[in-house]
Amino acid sequence: MNERLKEIKLLLLDVDGVLTDGRIIYDANGVESKFFNVKDGHGIKMVQRAGIEVGIVSGRQSQVVVNRAAELGISLVYQKALDKLTPYLEILRQTGLKDENVAFVGDDIIDIPVLRRVGFAAAPADALDYVQEEVHFVTRNRGGWGAVREVCDLLLKGTGAWESVTARYYGG
């Protein structure tokens, strides 16, 4: 697994069930809400500081996702991607990266085509069983409850960036 992690330059994330716990909340006016985990967000910021770009590929369309991506400085955002392989291949073309340079975290059947291609595939602990069978790593945490942070920490350690990115927190 460490050999796979060393090559990663881009982390792609699904949203519902990965960055969130999969619940979608609508108020009486039809305004959508999602719950995001602050620890996941901090993990994303640390990965970005290590030089790993982060992107989102979601099957749904949501202004909430646009807002969260902007807050985290994520510019690669593909929504309403019912075929996630198409935006994935577009991202490879845009960035010049290869499959082995990409990590992807997904939790449902729609994610399997991309999970099968990337250099490092991960799924949250509560991903569907047949999705977990397709990945290199299953987190201890559920989607929306720190699963992305686990992957971020793993990437930082696997790419050798952990010490430099976390030194400021340890007084270094």
| Residues whose CB is less than 8 angstroms from the CB of residue 142 and which lie 6 or more positions away in sequence, other chains included | 21, 124, 125, 126
Chain-centre distance for alpha carbon 41 = 10
Distance CA 112, CA 89 (A): 14
Report residue 150's pLDDT band, with 50, 70 and 90 as the boundaries: very high
> For position 1, what pLDDT does the model report?
80
In this prediction, residues 55-84 reach a mean pLDDT of: 96
Per residue in 48-59, pLDDT (tens digit) is 999 999 999 999
- pTM for this one? 0.95
- Crossing angle (nearest 10°) for helices 38-49 and 63-72: 50
Domain 2-165 belongs to what topology? Rossmann fold (3.40.50)
Encoded tokens for 103:
């990590």
Contact 141, 33 (CB under 8 A): no
Encoded tokens for 58:
């979601």
Encoded tokens for 124:
């949250």
Per residue in 113-136, pLDDT (tens digit) is 999 999 999 999 999 999 999 999
Distance CA 158, CA 5 (A): 5
Domain map of the chain by residue range? Answer: 2-165
State residue 129 phi and psi, 5-degree precision: -55, -45
Report residue 172's pLDDT band, with 50, 70 and 90 as the boundaries: low
Contact 39, 131 (CB under 8 A): no
Q: Are strands 25-26 and 32-33 parallel, antiparallel or unpaired?
A: antiparallel
What's the DSSP call for residue 22? Answer: S
| Residues whose CB is less than 8 angstroms from the CB of residue 32 and which lie 6 or more positions away in sequence, other chains included | 24, 25, 26, 62, 63, 64
